[in-house]
Amino acid sequence: MSTHIGAKRGDIASTVLMPGDPLRAKYIAETYLDDVVNYSSVRNMLGFTGTYKGKRISVQGSGMGIPSLAIYTTEMIQEFGVNTIYRVGSCGAMSPDVKIRDIILGQAGTTDSSIIANTFGPGIYYSPIADFELLDSAYHTAKDSGLTPKVGNIFAADRFYNDEIDMKKLTDYGVIATEMETSGLYLLAAKHHIRALTILTVSDHLLTGEKTTAKERETSFDEMIRLSLDTAIANIKE
């Protein structure tokens, strides 16, 4: 048992899907996994282990933002031997080429968080990126399923309400969507030499003002979830 995860060594699979919302973790586990066990409910940040198409997988809520995600990512890696993490969540589209409910694969993570500066110090502007093997696998799995995912740079905002960020400039430089976690996940994956990939569904659009409801975000992103699970079982390395 770690400080924030009420599990024993062996309770968590080596491959983990990590949504921010613990209720999305519950939905994924109850809807898609067999033989499900709830291994942690500490702080209501729910975690489950089960099987998908015969392969063992866990689903763990991470909370919102890089600081919260960093707690669960670090403990899963250091205390429970997790070697592959998929962030599955929602994002806001920033590019006119991205539509509501599109699936996005995070190729790289841009951020205004201090986590990178604090890690490397002044003068180094490290670029956290996805694991290419997972990215390539997810892209082709999606295409084989008739989906057309968008692949690109994701902006992980340190604050949800932030009027100071120049979103247009980020878009002009190729950033296609915004959320709050990807950069932190990719940085920690690089630090600990594990694999990570962000797979997102567009829940709202910064240009058009379109948005999904909170309930839809919790339960309706099934194409993204199935893609994440199918990619996960294709890349399990025990």
Contact 90, 200 (CB under 8 A): yes
pLDDT at position 124 is 95
3-state percent breakdown (helix, strand, coil) of the chain, nearest 5:
35, 30, 35
What's the DSSP call for residue 140? H
pLDDT at position 218 is 64
Q: Kindly provide the residue ranges of all beta strands, DSSP E only, lying in the chain, ordered along the sequence.
A: 15-18, 34-40, 47-52, 55-60, 84-93, 103-111, 150-156, 175-179, 195-205
Task: Answer whether residue 149 is part of any domain.
Answer: yes
Task: Answer whether residue 131 is part of any domain.
Answer: yes
The C-alpha atoms of residue 151 and residue 131 are separated, in whole angstroms, by: 13
Pick from 94, 67, 43, 93: nearest CA to 159: 67
Q: Which of 2, 40, 62, 90 is catalytic?
A: 90
- Our count of domains for the chain comes to 1
The C-alpha atoms of residue 101 and residue 221 are separated, in whole angstroms, by: 8
Task: Answer whether residue 47 is part of any domain.
Answer: yes
Task: Answer whether residue 104 is part of any domain.
Answer: yes
- The yes-or-no answer on residue 87 being catalytic is yes
* Cα R_g (the chain), whole angstroms: 17
Q: How many CB atoms lie within 10 A of CB 152?
A: 18
- The yes-or-no answer on residue 217 being catalytic is yes
- For the entire predicted model, the pTM comes to 0.96
Q: Which residues pair with 33 in a beta bridge?
A: none
pLDDT at position 185 is 98
Q: How many CB atoms lie within 10 A of CB 83?
A: 19
- The yes-or-no answer on residue 20 being catalytic is yes
Report, as ranges of residue numbers, the positions in the chain whose pLDDT lies below 50. Answer: none
Task: Answer whether residue 1 is part of any domain.
Answer: no
pLDDT at position 237 is 79
pLDDT at position 220 is 59
What range does the domain containing 23 cover? 15-234
Task: Answer whether residue 20 is part of any domain.
Answer: yes
Residue 228: CATH number of its domain: 3.40.50.1580
Q: How far lies 143's CA from each of 13, 103, 139, 150, 220, in Å?
A: 27, 11, 6, 11, 20
Task: Answer whether residue 2 is part of any domain.
Answer: no
pLDDT at position 238 is 64
Q: Which of 50, 61, 131, 217 is catalytic?
A: 217
Contact 100, 202 (CB under 8 A): yes
Q: Which of 112, 137, 204, 220 is catalytic?
A: 204
Q: Which of 63, 65, 87, 131 is catalytic?
A: 87
- The yes-or-no answer on residue 226 being catalytic is no
Task: Answer whether residue 7 is part of any domain.
Answer: no
- Maximum separation of any 2 CA atoms in the chain, in Å: 49
Q: Which of 20, 50, 61, 152 is catalytic?
A: 20
Torsion from C-alpha of 126, 139, 219, 90, nearest 10 degrees? 30
